[in-house]
Amino acid sequence: MARQCDVCGKGAQMGNSVAIRGKKKYLGGVGTKITGITRRKFKPNLQRVHVSTANGTHKSINACTQCIRSGRVTKVVRAAPFQIPKEAAKAK
């Protein structure tokens, strides 16, 4: 199984790693030169998160951080949110 997002399907992509030497011209040098180009892999930032599915069950999936931040997945609420007691609310 490939390491990819279970929500959007984002996976690893290939690219170039460019090695550069030299001092830039505006800094007083003779300019930068590319001294090597090698292939590299760009990996997605995957997180293992517990999510609530549509039918109410809980499941653990691999989701990229963009899916988590955008709200495409709903995380499991482990503890109930804080509630103000009704007696304290009436006292005000």
Model confidence pLDDT, tens digit, residues 4-26: 999 999 999 999 999 999 999 99
Least confident of 8-17, 39-48, 50-59, 75-84: 75-84
What value does the mean pLDDT of the chain take?
A: 91
pLDDT exceeds cutoff 70 at 91:
no
**How many C-beta atoms lie closer than 10 Å to residue 67's C-beta?**
22
**Nearest residue to 5 via CA among 48, 60, 46:** 46
Q: CA of 15: how far to CAs of 2, 8, 19, 42, 58, in Å? A: 18, 21, 13, 7, 36
Question: Residue 36 contacts by C-beta under 8 Å, 6 or more apart in sequence?
Answer: 18, 19
Question: Is residue 52 classed as helix, strand or coil in its secondary structure?
Answer: strand
pLDDT for the residue 89: 64
